[in-house]
Amino acid sequence: MKSSASKVLVIGLDGATFDLIDPWVKEGRLPTLAKCMNRGVSSVLLSSPLSNSAQAWSTFATGKNPGKHGIFDFFERVPGGYDIRFVNASFRRARDIWEIISDAGKRVVVMNVPMSYPPKEVNGIILSGLDAPGITDGFAYPPNIMEEIKGKIGSYILEPGIWGYIRQGKHSTALEQLLEAIKIRTETAKYLMSAYPWEFFMVVFTESDKVQHHFWKYMNRPGPFENAILEVYQHLDRSLRELIELTDERTQVYIVSDHGAGPSTNKTFYINRWLNSEGFLKFNKPSMQARLTRSVISRADSLVKTKLSRRAKEVLSGAFPRLRGKVESAVSLWGVDWASTKAYSRENHPAIFINLRGREPQGIVAPGDEYHEVREQIAQGLKSVVCPETGEKIIDGVRFREDAFWGEEINKAPDIIFEWISHKYIHRPSEPYSGDGFLKVLSDRQMDISESLHRPSGVHRDEGILLAFGSGIVMDKRISRARLMDMAPTVLHALGISVSKEMDGKVLVDLFQEGFLGGRQVVYSEEEGKACITKSAEIYDTDEEMVIRDRLRGLGYID
């Protein structure tokens, strides 16, 4: 038997979860996924900490933890400030597997992987993912490939933009757009698989994630959308069959998700309000004018988000280029008295930053003993928070950043991250001048508002999926929990390419038949090859930033 696969096909189903797949497979609703599970290996695939797609797909692509590759979210703090800037693949401080595979003389095709913009110049083709501001001249490599695709397929959809339809109550249109995006992406992948030679092909379908975000709440409600998520999964199941049918007997197929998913909850924990109640964060004393200003800005921001089309927002941005930044700043960290604040949260993740002297512009916590003491106090406080209804603790797994991440980019990480026990609570943005406490059970009306502005009804979970089958892979086997960071070294090893010692992931040797490996041990290399990680990051311009911002709002990554 050969000691390496001739080809590897990776199909990403963003946010896919066995919590849905397993029962639907048993019911016979997903026949392709059922065959894949029987033909090879399946495993829960543990995501990266915080399980957001920018961080997770970067971990998949590099085999490294975020402390090394440097992508913790779709945005990062502007150095020396509290403001944020959106990031893309050019901010990543590690090489992608498609770049490594290309340097090894093999041909690659990469489609729609989040955090793949701007595309690298590889031995093959790259169509960027959702971090691309649009299908512009810099969207694909080689640059002329999009003209060819449009000529053969007719169109290409980067992002279906369903959040706008959801906000306007056009759920049927949103679902139609998701299904159309799956169809076009599948046809594009089939064309590229057939028209161009390749040894590594990867395509990611993000529609599974999007439908879960916006339609999860309808799953247990009889009505027109109770099967919306199932319908998307079934379309993806058919796409899997069509793509797999184009492979040969020497191809290994990996079906992966960057994280899992599950329902949100109306039980809410306001992180900054809690920090305020514990004396770690202080809000400025609100004057009547400040309250009125906050109310007007919030209402205006809400109307812009929910009522205006993307084109109208682009016109508004062009007319008032500085206004948007002021609104975003006012809404996200409104009213914080930085001179009296030791810790704060962006509240888009269960994560807390220390207002550290020398790092934050108005930091008051001294590095060293005071920093560690404040973190420990916050950690102990979080662990003691209990649900007022049950008296049970709601937070578990409080970790300091060095316990979750390691590497030269760890300075970008939150100082504290934590997890909810049994997903019974979730974080939402604080309203600093509200008379409510830091724990609140939202009414149905309040949930509808929150889901349209802040947190969709489906949220991320840590447990993604891995299915592997094909040449040299064992049959019908479940293995223990694999990690997302293990995928890059596993794919490289399958293709007979050495694995960098700098990678944190390990080759999943349990996937392979003994004869496939031929007794060959994993080959490690000291270096990753030519270093392309010293290039300067590509910063979005004002118009591009607005497109990215609007897109990420629809996924609940920013408020």
- What is the Cα–Cα distance from 547 to 318, expressed in whole angstroms? 13
Residue 239: count of CB within 10 angstroms of its CB: 23
Band of pLDDT at residue 35, cut at 50, 70 and 90: very high
The rounded distance, in Å, linking the Cα atoms of 374 and 395 is 18
Does residue 321 surpass a pLDDT of 80? no
Total Cβ atoms within 10 A of residue 529? 15
**Once rounded to an integer, what is the mean pLDDT over residues 91-104?**
97
In 3-state terms, what secondary structure has residue 470? strand
User: Does 281 or 137 have the greater pLDDT score?
Assistant: 281
The average pLDDT across 120-130 equals 97
Q: Is the pLDDT of residue 325 over 80?
A: no
Cα-Cα end-to-end distance for the chain? 53
From the CA atom positions of the chain, what is the Rg in Å?
A: 23
Residue 426 CA, distance from chain mean position: 17
Residue (of 386, 378, 456) closest to 421 by Cα position? 386
pLDDT of residue 322: 40
Chain CA centroid to CA 390, Å: 32
Confidence of residue 92 (pLDDT cuts 50, 70, 90): very high
Cα–Cα distance, 395 to 416 (Å, whole number):
13
Mean pLDDT, range 362-368, rounded to an integer? 98
**Please, are residues 135 and 112 in contact by the beta-carbon 8 Å criterion?**
no
Percent of residues, the chain, with pLDDT higher than 70? 87
Asked if pLDDT for residue 123 goes beyond 60, the answer is yes
Binned at pLDDT 50, 70 and 90, residue 328 comes out as: very low
Distance of CA 16 to the CA centre of its chain: 12
541 pLDDT higher than 70: yes
Handedness of CA 554, 272, 79, 399 (dihedral sign): negative
Confidence of residue 455 (pLDDT cuts 50, 70, 90): confident
Question: Is the CB of residue 27 less than 8 Å from the CB of residue 476?
Answer: no
Task: Encode pLDDT of 247-297 as tens digits.
Answer: 999 999 999 999 999 999 999 999 999 999 999 999 998 654 555 554 544
Average pLDDT of span 505-518: 86
Measured in whole angstroms, the distance separating CA 97 from the mean position of its chain's CA atoms is: 18
Angle at 559 between CA 169 and CA 210, to 5 degrees: 50
Tell me if residue 303 falls in helix, strand or coil: helix
pLDDT band at 137, cuts 50/70/90? confident
- Characterize the bridge pairing of strands 140-141 and 124-128: antiparallel
Domains parsed from the chain with CATH numbers: 7-61+92-264+460-538 (3.40.720.10), 267-284+335-455 (3.30.1360)
CB 262 within 8 A of CB 459: yes
Which helix (DSSP H) or strand (DSSP E) does residue 311 occupy? helix 310-319
Taking the C-alpha atoms of residue 529 and residue 459, their distance in angstroms, rounded to an integer, is 38
Q: Give the type of residue at 250.
A: R
Average pLDDT score, the chain: 89
Q: Using DSSP bridges, classify how beta strands 108-113 and 200-205 pair: parallel, antiparallel or unpaired.
A: parallel
Cβ neighbours for 485, distance < 8 A, ≥ 6 positions apart:
48, 59, 60, 63, 64, 65, 503, 504, 505
DSSP per position, 258-302: SSEEEE--SEEE-HHHHHHHTTS--BPPPPHHHHHHHHHHHHHHH
Whether the predicted pLDDT of 436 surpasses 60: yes
Give residue 556's pLDDT. 61
CB 512 within 8 A of CB 40: no
Average pLDDT for residues 83-109, to the nearest whole number? 96
